Structure 1
């Protein structure tokens, strides 16, 4: 096997359509979590919100994410990956438009809660849809590509917020994502579901046809037989199975990883970076909204970098490198706040630290969490495992969204970033000790890692299959 991964251009037309659909959903998701950072400045002014009510605009979205994540696994298994994605984009369109039409905080929170449910569904299903449709040799890049799309959406949100800062039109900021949501429906309805889901439901002819569409050179009968063999070794696919041997160790790994991804503070920056920059001494709505756009542009570059090397250098080096960058950035932020190097014109070092923190997160945690979520479980447990992982991720997100501003106000910036530094150090130690290297391995062979007590058997094949 060559050390050089196949080019993305070798994917079939159907495979590219699947990737484009998932990427579009990723962009919409990114836009919907990023646009509130700028919009909140104007919502607060118009509705005269207290700090608690300002926080509710963000936290109700995350609460909806948790609900969506909890039901996503069962829904995607029951009705299919594709129908669930159609539900997602319908929810994006309806509730994004609703949030832009409301005129009081109660209905704004209600609309954002239901938008959050749609997001929670998409966070589980879109990466699974990609992972089950991609050849093993490029699976990592395609799933990381979803994170590229998400960061692109966040960047677009900041750019839109910046362009509308003069008018303060927060309604348009929130509602614009309804347009691509409607458009992607026309692409989704023309796609098949994944071959793995068809096999799970006993629809073998549809599975065979899908495999031939997505990868015309594949031996469809051989791959269906491999999928069936894997499924036949599994019993149930129930929640209790996740916490019994041999998958209890995999479950604890992904649950802890999911929690660490968010508790280390990335969404404090995504949601509240204009507030952070204001505390650093930067002034003017255009500036404090424009600076986060530069930060997200750097994050996009970092994510694209991860995309091109994840299947060449492996998961662990990228993940550890990204966390190390977050640790260094937190240290700089501590020094910036502790030394009082803030004032008129803002802190250049603080800005650079926020930029490196965000880029490091997206290079490591942001890119690789979806890869591990999609790789760590066999077919029957995959969506349930991803749902559980995302649930812990979102609980940590809720904690950060709710308590970051009170921490900054009560304890100060230096102490707040000491907390983030400690959490990043814990994350580094956890990944160093527990994260397996899954580069180039089939989904079926990764199963043997957990069945062997979180160790690779000497006989585990590393040559990737044609479809993962």
Structure 2
């Protein structure tokens, strides 16, 4: 009987992971498939550089709107229904984009698609964190991030397979397939115990916990969840604008902002244009090589996640940003040389930059956002970070091609290298080493003006010894 029960629980965990992965794949697919589709949309609609940037940036603007409303929606209708709404929105708006016969309709479809992506960035991690057993929660959260990178790779490869037909409509419309597949999976799952308690549905909360971990002390678990929810009530944004948490806010928001301002999504959105400017030609070079870059970035993020609790946060963050700066320097040299003989080094530069990003910024921005604030400010701090992150994303998406055409590749990556250097200084100055620290200790770090309590005790002891 226990084996049967464990098998059922394993299937439920697999169902949660698959649902999250499916939405992650759609999110990643949309990030990259526009780069291939844009090659042909620009020809069909006779788009200028600014119009191409607008088409890309519209999705990011939608993401900001979706992210800002994701928490409200998840609390209003539940995590499960919100995810079903996201999946349905993905399918509908991807098909609407594929059927668009005019630029205004395509922009509208892309804006609405962006809203669903923004919603998923908030709702899916919350659903996983609240649904998964504690011992596998981290792995399931990683599943969503890994699936997003796999979706990015899939977007490039689908564009490559359809490049001969120039059929950008299929490139965009295929995003609806995994979204439609995941809908019946979501319909079979319950909502989370935390949501049920939020709505005072205690019996439903108890059943939800029993489905996931029937051997746990459910009543104690319900009490702990209720206490945690009470701790999270009462946080106000103004509290983060003054000491002791102003320092934490500057760090977390700055980390999210520079993670995007350094140019990573500009590379993802416009990879074919970027490879063209380095002298690469042919559909394989323009669409498959970017996919291989993302495959390398997937390896980098997995290595980072393996090392983050062994080496610590600071060395991983700083070494990742340092690799980005080296990649920028290589790209500046390649573009300055302006010779096809060194274009291969440009590919190496992109590998260094992208792997450095996923190893450092990409892996740790959410770790620090979750650790930096006490419970009653954690969601506000994460929202502030995500808003800064998406705003920088929109800025880069809106000017990347213009920079490439006006400043040239050397000037563009010189700017990004300078911004990465500022991000490195920010991390070096403000990033705490939180490996092995309890959340309460981290709170004391900010309250002590960026010093750990044990460091203060050690200093005091040394002073007293000198006396």
TM-score after normalising by structure 2: 0.88
DSSP-derived class of the 1:193 partner: coil
Greater per-residue helix proportion: 2
Residues 1:337 and 2:335 aligned together: yes
For 2:459, the equivalent position in structure 1 comes to none
- Summarize the alignment of residues 52-451 of structure 1 with structure 2, pairs less than 5 Å apart: 52-134=50-132, 139-243=137-241, 247-340=245-338, 342-343=339-340, 347-377=343-373, 381-439=377-435, 450=446
Structure 1 residues 366 and 458, CA gap change in structure 2 (3 angstroms): same
**Which one has the largest radius of gyration?**
2
More displaced 10-residue stretch of structure 1: 152-161 or 14-23: 14-23
Cα offset, 1:81, TM superposition: 2.3
Could you tell me how far apart the structure 1 residues matched to 2:72 and 2:124 are? 14
Cα offset, 1:380, TM superposition: 5.3
Instruction: Determine if contact 2:300/2:358 at 8 Å carries over to the other structure.
Output: yes
Could you tell me how far apart the structure 1 residues matched to 2:330 and 2:87 are? 40
More displaced 10-residue stretch of structure 1: 281-290 or 346-355: 281-290
Could you tell me how far apart the structure 1 residues matched to 2:433 and 2:138 are? 12
Could you tell me how far apart the structure 2 residues matched to 1:48 and 1:303 are? 38
Residues 1:17 and 2:15 aligned together: yes
Could you tell me how far apart the structure 2 residues matched to 1:218 and 1:431 are? 40
Instruction: Determine if contact 1:69/1:117 at 8 Å carries over to the other structure.
Output: yes
Could you tell me how far apart the structure 2 residues matched to 1:51 and 1:134 are? 45
Instruction: Determine if contact 2:231/2:376 at 8 Å carries over to the other structure.
Output: no
Instruction: Determine if contact 1:438/1:446 at 8 Å carries over to the other structure.
Output: yes
Cα offset, 1:273, TM superposition: 1.1
Instruction: Determine if contact 2:334/2:342 at 8 Å carries over to the other structure.
Output: no
For 1:5, the equivalent position in structure 2 comes to none
User: Can you list the C-alpha shifts for 1:224-271, whole angstroms capped at 9, x where unaligned?
Assistant: 333333333344245445545664444333222111110011011101
Instruction: Determine if contact 1:332/1:349 at 8 Å carries over to the other structure.
Output: yes
| Structure 1, gaps ≥5 residues long | 1-8, 460-468
Q: Aligned pairs, how many?
A: 449
More displaced 10-residue stretch of structure 1: 287-296 or 222-231: 222-231
User: Can you list the C-alpha shifts for 1:44-66, whole angstroms capped at 9, x where unaligned?
Assistant: 11111111111111011111111
DSSP-derived class of the 1:41 partner: helix
Instruction: Determine if contact 1:140/1:371 at 8 Å carries over to the other structure.
Output: no
TM-score after normalising by structure 1: 0.87
Instruction: Determine if contact 2:67/2:115 at 8 Å carries over to the other structure.
Output: yes
Could you tell me how far apart the structure 1 residues matched to 2:140 and 2:258 are? 23
More displaced 10-residue stretch of structure 1: 313-322 or 394-403: 313-322
Could you tell me how far apart the structure 2 residues matched to 1:444 and 1:138 are? 23
Could you tell me how far apart the structure 2 residues matched to 1:205 and 1:443 are? 31
Structure 1 residues 366 and 68, CA gap change in structure 2 (3 angstroms): same
More displaced 10-residue stretch of structure 1: 40-49 or 13-22: 13-22
DSSP-derived class of the 1:132 partner: helix
| Structure 2, gaps ≥5 residues long | 1-6, 456-467
Cα offset, 1:365, TM superposition: 1.6
Could you tell me how far apart the structure 2 residues matched to 1:321 and 1:205 are? 49
User: Can you list the C-alpha shifts for 1:328-366, whole angstroms capped at 9, x where unaligned?
Assistant: 1011111111233x23x7700001111221122122222
Instruction: Determine if contact 1:73/1:384 at 8 Å carries over to the other structure.
Output: no
